[in-house]
Amino acid sequence: MSNKTKIEWTEQTWNPATGCTKVSPGCAHCYAEGMARRLQAMGVKGYENGFGLTLLPDRLNEPLKRKRPTVYFVNSMSDLFHEEIPDDYIKDIFRVIEQAPQHTFQVLTKRAERMADFMRGRRAPSNAWFGVTVENRAHGLPRIDQLRSVEARIRFLSVEPLLEDLGDVDLTRIHWVIVGGESGPLARPMQPQWASNIRRQCDVQKVAFFFKQWGGWGPDGEKRAKKNNGRMLDGRTWDGVPEGLIVGDEKNLLA
């Protein structure tokens, strides 16, 4: 089903598949895994297998039923390029995206190598944005190079949870960077200088920068509820988005 979401950089989630498996340190405290277990306990349709990979073809056409332009996060409860999702099913998802040009679809993956292989020789629909998770240097930075090879209108980085200083980051052919700390009872702290380092590089390299949250640890190093830590960085909020898109409390203006 498609649902409204509290994720600050999108509007709705669309999950034609649910469930996933861990591939890197960013997965350690996966929010989707815990949510899937709760939905399974509640008897919610689509989560009978908990967090086991499940294809849900009955959800494929949901965006086609919505006429108002909407920003969709694709597979927020899974990974579109999970190794158990067949190529033909991914093609079905992209056919739906092409049939709904009024919407914007954000595809985020940690499986950047498969994404690059699948997209080789293909051009993404103009309303499909491609992104990779970059939680650290060892696993995250190589994904950026894979993302660069994808022919897409917008390429973005989800630097969340940010687990260490990334050092110098080449943002060539990247249009948007989202940074955030980890939330939840087992959250790992994010140091302010790590986030500031990325913000400065976005400014120098002319890339839109969005600071999502501090998460479970504040910039003062104290652990508290996520909402109490806020989303101020270097004295202000940062709500940069690629040109033509407004998210949050505003309406999507991308035609």
Q: What is the pLDDT of residues 217-242, one digit of tens each?
A: 999 999 999 999 999 999 999 999 99
Has residue 88 been placed in a domain? no
Tokens 């927020």 locate to 76
Distance CA 91, CA 16 (A): 12
Has residue 197 been placed in a domain? yes
Distance CA 81, CA 113 (A): 9
Has residue 180 been placed in a domain? yes
Length of the chain equals 255
Has residue 208 been placed in a domain? yes
Has residue 215 been placed in a domain? yes
Has residue 36 been placed in a domain? no
Cross-strand bridge partners of residue 109 = 132
Has residue 32 been placed in a domain? no
How many Cβ atoms sit within 10 Å of the Cβ of residue 141?
17
Q: What is the pLDDT of residues 157-173, one digit of tens each?
A: 999 999 999 999 999 99
Has residue 104 been placed in a domain? no
Read off the pLDDT band of 250 (50, 70, 90): very low
Residue 246 pLDDT exceeds 70: no
Distance CA 240, CA 208 (A): 5
Question: Strands of 104-109's sheet, edge to edge?
Answer: 2-4, 12-14, 71-74, 104-109, 128-133, 155-159, 176-180, 208-213
Taking the CA atoms of 229, 234, 238 and 240 in sequence, report the sign of the dihedral they define.
Answer: negative
| Enclosing domain of residue 162 | 110-255
Quote the number of domains for the chain: 1
Q: What is the pLDDT of residues 24-79, one digit of tens each?
A: 999 999 999 999 999 999 999 999 999 999 999 999 999 999 999 999 999 999 99
pTM (2 d.p.): 0.93
